[in-house]
Amino acid sequence: MIAISIVAVILQDSIDVGLLGFALVYTMSLSGLLQWTVRQSAEAEAQFVSVERIEGYSNLEPEPGYSVTTAERVRTRSLSSLFDPVKPSTSLNDSKKEKSADNKPVGQLTLHNVHIKYRQDLEHVIKGLSCDISAGSKIGLVGRTGSGKSTMIQSLLRLNLITDGDIYLDGESILSMTLENARSQITVIPQEPHLFSGTVRFNLDPFNIYNDQEIWNALKNAHIADALSKELGLLTIVDEGGKNFSVGQRQLLSMARAILRKSKVVLMDEVTSSIDYSTDKLLQETIRTCPELRSATILTIAHRLRTIADSDFILVLGPGGQLLEKGKPYDLLTSSENSHFKSLAMESQEFDDLISISSQGRIE
């Protein structure tokens, strides 16, 4: 703009005045266009960060233990490989039915001298944990912060490094299974429920394995069917992150997802920590009465001790994942000896309530 003005003054006698005015007008508009160009280039550069991240994620090495690569799965369009690379997608339910036909409970877990760390360059978080968990039992995991409760849960999904020892599910080593097969037998209900944009049906059954009746049965057992029937049923829209549902409703939908899968083992990582008391009661009722969950082995990390007071057994973990004690809740609470679980109950100021709850649910 300044250059054109100077040129116009110098050459005012040799250039037509109309052309000079034309040049000045378009120069003024050019400055606005230049600002828009700079702004768009900066926005394009910012958006391309997403492209760089996608490229970086696409070049990551897959987790050890996967039987097929992502490219092979996309090319073959085989949904069965997500559950069992050898058998069809219904094999998990079929195998469960076969074992149930023999009246043998499934979901027996054995941890033998397990050492766990999060990275190769870090210290062990759990050192030499060993315990046996009977099939179909309800286990409460208790311990101080940093005792390895969540780490133990993650190890069953092979989300961390098991450097020594082994974990057996119904006598078969989890470490010898493919990741798809191992994780298909375990369902996780996390502390913060995760929902995706789409419909309720998509969130519960993204691979279209189950029919509508099975999904509705799972929703009824999770005590969320009535709320959905007032909307569009299975076609009810779920916003990003499930923002159009309350935290309690999202947790009940996660419970329905676990019921639908009929897994051998269900892991509950402090699922009641962010929900109200009434929803907590619904979750506990579902665990006690739902047939799919009654036959499964359930491991619960407790945020409130009253939620695991009626468990079959309590596992108390100490520093380094050391198993301090194992026993029935009522026996631990009434023990004359120094019980770690009893001391935690005394600190919670709910000792009498815990005694009452555990006495009603104890196994003779």
**Radius of gyration, alpha carbons of the chain:** 29
pLDDT given at position 114:
93
Please report the DSSP string for 136-200 in residue order: T-EEEEEE-TTSSHHHHHHHHTT-SEEEEEEEEETTEEGGGS-HHHHHHTEEEE-SS----SEEH
What distance in Å separates the CA atoms of residue 8 and residue 165, rounded to the nearest whole number?
Answer: 86
Under the banding of pLDDT at 50, 70 and 90, the label for residue 1 is low
24 domain-assigned: no
Structure tokens at 140: 């409460």
Average pLDDT on 230-250 reads 87
Domain count, the chain: 1
Average pLDDT over residues 241-270: 87
Q: What percent of the chain has pLDDT over 90?
A: 23
Read off the pLDDT band of 273 (50, 70, 90).
low
Burial label, 266 (beta-carbon count in 10 A; 0-12, 13-18, 19+): buried
Angstrom distance (rounded) from CA 125 to CA 222: 35
Q: Point out the least confidently predicted range of 139-143, 260-264, 301-305, 310-314.
A: 301-305
30 falls within a domain:
no
Q: What is the mean pLDDT of residues 18-28?
A: 73
Task: Please report whether residue 76 resides in a domain.
Answer: no
User: 301 in a domain, yes or no?
Assistant: yes
Which of 164-168, 233-237, 286-290, 343-347 has the least mean pLDDT? 286-290
Residue 270: per-residue pLDDT = 73
Contact 362, 330 (CB under 8 A): yes
Whether the Cβ atoms of residue 253 and residue 317 lie closer than 8 Å to each other = no
Flag whether pLDDT at 222 surpasses 80: yes
Instruction: Specify which residues 325 forms β-bridges with.
Output: 316
Q: Would you say residue 169 has pLDDT above 90? A: yes
Whether the per-residue pLDDT at 10 is higher than 70: the answer is: yes
- Give the mean model confidence (pLDDT) for residues 61-81: 55
User: What is the per-residue pLDDT across 99-119, written as a single tens digit (0 to 9) for each?
Assistant: 444 545 678 999 999 999 998
Q: What is the pLDDT of residue 93?
A: 46
Please count the other Cβ atoms lying within 10 Å of the Cβ belonging to residue 138: 22
Binning pLDDT at 50, 70 and 90, where does residue 348 land?
confident
pLDDT number for residue 96: 45
Q: What is the DSSP letter of 86?
A: S
Report pLDDT for 65: 74
- pLDDT value at residue 95: 42
CA–CA distance, 177 with 300 (Å, rounded to integer): 24
- Of 22-26, 261-265, 279-283, 323-327, the least confident: 22-26
Residue 16 lies in a domain: no
User: Which two tokens mark 27?
Assistant: 């120069």
User: Is pLDDT of 42 > 50?
Assistant: yes
Burial class (CB in 10 A: 0-12, 13-18, 19+), 322: middle
Chain centre distance of CA 291:
22
Q: Under the phi-then-psi rule, with left for phi > 0, alpha for psi from -120 to 50, and beta for the rest, what region is 103?
A: left
Q: What is the mean pLDDT of residues 47-76?
A: 73
Query: Which residues touch 90 (CB under 8 Å, ≥6 apart)?
Result: 209
The pTM (predicted TM-score) of the whole model is: 0.72
Domain harbouring 168, CATH code:
3.40.50.300
Q: Quick count: other Cβ atoms within 10 Å of Cβ 249?
A: 19
Cα–Cα distance list, 66 to 62, 70, 115, 172 (Å): 7, 9, 22, 17
The H or E element containing residue 316 is strand 313-317
Tell me the per-residue pLDDT of 322-333, one tens digit each, with 9 for 90 and over: 899 999 999 888
Closest CA to 223 of 308, 278, 283: 283
> Looking at the domain assignment, is residue 233 inside a domain?
yes
- Answer yes or no: is pLDDT of 363 > 50: no
pLDDT tens digits, residue range 173-196? 999 888 888 888 899 888 788 888
pLDDT of residue 92: 41
Domain enclosing residue 206, as ranges: 91-361
Confidence of residue 44 (pLDDT cuts 50, 70, 90): very high
**In a domain? residue 299:** yes
pLDDT above 80 for 243: yes
If you average pLDDT over every residue of the chain, what do you get? 81
* Cα–Cα distance, 167 to 156 (Å, whole number): 7
Is there a domain that residue 333 lies in? Answer: yes
